[in-house]
Amino acid sequence: MVDRKPKRTPLEIKQEILKLLKGKEMTLRLLEKKIDTNPNTIRSQVNELEHLGFVETIKHEKSEHTGRPFTTVRLKRD
């Protein structure tokens, strides 16, 4: 028997994202790990939150650790 978590709705995932972003900026990768979902889900929910004006994304050219580009997300400042 396989233990499966109940499927979360897009609204629940968006709420988790907003809660995690309170007071700090996070990478898409870290959001993916903390929320325990796949990268495509995180990207689509963050894109929707950005379109609605709740968050903003910042594209970075390269990480100091890996040398690869990455994106961070933060709550939009008024």
16-40 pLDDT, tens per residue? 999 999 989 999 999 999 999 999 9
Averaged pLDDT for residues 41-54: 97
Q: Residue 75: enclosing H or E segment and its boundaries?
A: strand 70-75
* 31-38 contacts, C-beta under 8 A, 24 or more apart: 31/73, 36/5, 37/8, 37/13
Q: For residue 65, what pLDDT band results from cuts at 50, 70 and 90?
A: confident
Topology (CATH) of 10-75: Arc Repressor Mutant, subunit A (1.10.10)
Of the chain, the percentage scoring pLDDT greater than 90 comes to 73
Domain residue spans in the chain?
10-75
The whole-model pTM stands at 0.85
